[in-house]
Structure 1
């Protein structure tokens, strides 16, 4: 039995994410939880003729939804609105994430926890601190899904140079907001950056870092990046399931993780930067994180991006961790 729970399943990300995951034969039970409309979404999806059964769980049934879960995906929370930064979301979403993490600790402490809810730089530390408080924290099993930054990078790079296949995976490190998003464009095969002027490189980097704002503006108050985020969330979830359920090896995806998940490959970086969390390429294994792939040799331009990202990440991480530790 492979039970996957989506917390926030009736929302703008949750519904398309649920639809995408319903198509997977790796999932035998898809449990949808939300404070409103989850049973209706579940009834709709349950008519699709794929392997998994679908159940819907309302506001009072969080424990029932989470019980014995293999993987918990969390897109719950309010979306960004025009003029709202990811940081503005913090006070609203932090309490939601805390309560869901409590539910995980009490009902499925061994589950893989995949966090989509913004601001990811802060919500992942919230989840980890709650799990620590309950004595069930395993850094190999908690992930911040920063895959949308990779998806955007691949697409935007192919628009700049159509010779680059849009399926080419671009390594993106750092975090999941603004200047903390550091696309390592120098690592794209074929010398992609060699053909770019400094101005074009800056424009492309900025577009990747603030792609979410592009969508928020285009939707004009009607929402944020829901469909592309659902696609990225499904891509990450399915890749993790391929490793943890099907035992497939060599699968790599960028993820915002606690660096204690692989001390061997991150101790020097952690000591040098003072960071406890960072988005890097992660190789999946049956236990979650198999290896955090060390940073490659980056360009001078990317070094400057990292220098700008690190102080911001420290602030974001401290804000998330202190939300739990200060209220203990």
Structure 2
């Protein structure tokens, strides 16, 4: 199994590389970044006893070697959100970084599973889908916007507020991956617990949605979620590896291109993972009225985010030198 991390010299990339080197066995870990400090990251990791084989590559000219024969590619490259910055403000810079990365994947390892961590996920996943479609190799089952961070946050908040042990089966996340589009949905057991406490469902939704802003604020402009995001990336990739190896009943939430365009062409939802990607979206047919009302509002916002990503693709596809754009030098 070969796993490549693109943007491995950045905060999220380094933390993800560390966690993967400690939690996988006999895996090849390929670390790539525009910045040649990525070689220092690899050297640092080599001083930690592990069965994971680490190779490092720097400079865009070497991205093909970095990702060649990859089974899974985790993309963390991009600038991070600053205090007061809306996720939409990220798309101009991060789309320029993502575009040549996806092109390289399309040309060198079109069958790889792509796990996109870079924000804004709501817009960048549709952008990536359009780029892959340009090469006629887009497989909706293998392109994931990693929204596991919202899952971890929801579980942590529920356990803290309700003082109970919460299983991942007790809730899921749907909608998108931004403050205004994250929608945690809980089962009857959790709802009853909420009803018997002072912690209401609406408060829970608000708390989960505001986690990102809270971290950005407390980091005083020095970055956004890093450690929790790396943990989320590890959780999702480990589940994906288990599915690829043939383990059944693997379920994870992610943001994907859906087969039901009447709901939304892209949606975060719980997915059943298999050897070939996700094969079904596991959303309850009957949704609580108050959840359905929130979902309708979210889908309207999500539609705008998706359109933005596709418009950015249309504008960028007109450029003939996108692979050499100076914005590629911006690291996570």
Structure 2 length as normaliser, TM-score? 0.90
Distance (whole Å) between structure 2 residues aligned to residue 282 and residue 187 of structure 1: 20
1:131-142 equivalent positions in 2, closer than 5 A: 131-142=132-143
Question: Could you give the per-residue CA deviations for residues 273-298 of structure 1, whole angstroms, max 9, x where no partner exists?
Answer: 3x210011101100011222133422
2:237 matches 1:248:
no
C-alpha contact 2:82 2:223 (8 A) present in aligned 1:
yes
Distance (whole Å) between structure 2 residues aligned to residue 219 and residue 169 of structure 1: 31
In structure 2, what is the equivalent of residue 103 of structure 1? 104
Structure 1 length as normaliser, TM-score? 0.91
Distance (whole Å) between structure 2 residues aligned to residue 283 and residue 167 of structure 1: 14
Query: Compared with structure 1, are the counterparts of its residues 221 and 326 closer, same or farther at alpha carbon in structure 2 (3 Å cutoff)?
Result: closer
Distance (whole Å) between structure 1 residues aligned to residue 98 and residue 81 of structure 2: 16
Q: Secondary structure at the match of 2:11?
A: coil
In structure 2, what is the equivalent of residue 123 of structure 1? 124
1:86-101 equivalent positions in 2, closer than 5 A: 86-101=87-102
User: What stretches of structure 2 of length at least 5 have no aligned partner?
Assistant: 318-332
C-alpha contact 1:186 1:299 (8 A) present in aligned 2:
no
Distance (whole Å) between structure 2 residues aligned to residue 27 and residue 135 of structure 1: 33
User: What stretches of structure 1 of length at least 5 have no aligned partner?
Assistant: 261-266
Match of 1:315 among 304, 308, 315: 304
Higher relative contact order (CA 8 A, sep 6+): 2
1:64-75 equivalent positions in 2, closer than 5 A: 64-75=65-76
Distance (whole Å) between structure 2 residues aligned to residue 134 and residue 310 of structure 1: 29
1:25-44 equivalent positions in 2, closer than 5 A: 25-26=24-25, 28-36=27-35, 37-44=37-44
In structure 2, what is the equivalent of residue 84 of structure 1? 85
In structure 2, what is the equivalent of residue 264 of structure 1? none
Distance (whole Å) between structure 1 residues aligned to residue 106 and residue 27 of structure 2: 22
In structure 2, what is the equivalent of residue 210 of structure 1? 210
In structure 2, what is the equivalent of residue 23 of structure 1? 22
Distance (whole Å) between structure 2 residues aligned to residue 112 and residue 52 of structure 1: 19
Alpha-carbon shift at residue 84 of structure 1 (Å)? 0.7
C-alpha contact 2:179 2:212 (8 A) present in aligned 1:
no
In structure 2, what is the equivalent of residue 282 of structure 1? 271
Alpha-carbon shift at residue 159 of structure 1 (Å)? 1.2
Query: Compared with structure 1, are the counterparts of its residues 224 and 27 closer, same or farther at alpha carbon in structure 2 (3 Å cutoff)?
Result: farther
Query: Compared with structure 1, are the counterparts of its residues 301 and 285 closer, same or farther at alpha carbon in structure 2 (3 Å cutoff)?
Result: same
Alpha-carbon shift at residue 201 of structure 1 (Å)? 2.7
Q: Secondary structure at the match of 1:110?
A: coil
Aligned-residue CA RMSD in angstroms?
1.7
Query: Compared with structure 1, are the counterparts of its residues 25 and 163 closer, same or farther at alpha carbon in structure 2 (3 Å cutoff)?
Result: closer
Query: Compared with structure 1, are the counterparts of its residues 169 and 99 closer, same or farther at alpha carbon in structure 2 (3 Å cutoff)?
Result: farther
In structure 2, what is the equivalent of residue 63 of structure 1? 64
1:160-239 equivalent positions in 2, closer than 5 A: 160-165=161-166, 170-189=171-190, 191-196=192-197, 200-239=200-239
In structure 2, what is the equivalent of residue 4 of structure 1? 3
Equivalent residues, number: 315
Q: Secondary structure at the match of 2:200?
A: helix
Question: Could you give the per-residue CA deviations for residues 112-167 of structure 1, whole angstroms, max 9, x where no partner exists?
Answer: 00001000001111111111001111111000101111110001011110123376
Alpha-carbon shift at residue 103 of structure 1 (Å)? 1.0
Alpha-carbon shift at residue 95 of structure 1 (Å)? 0.9
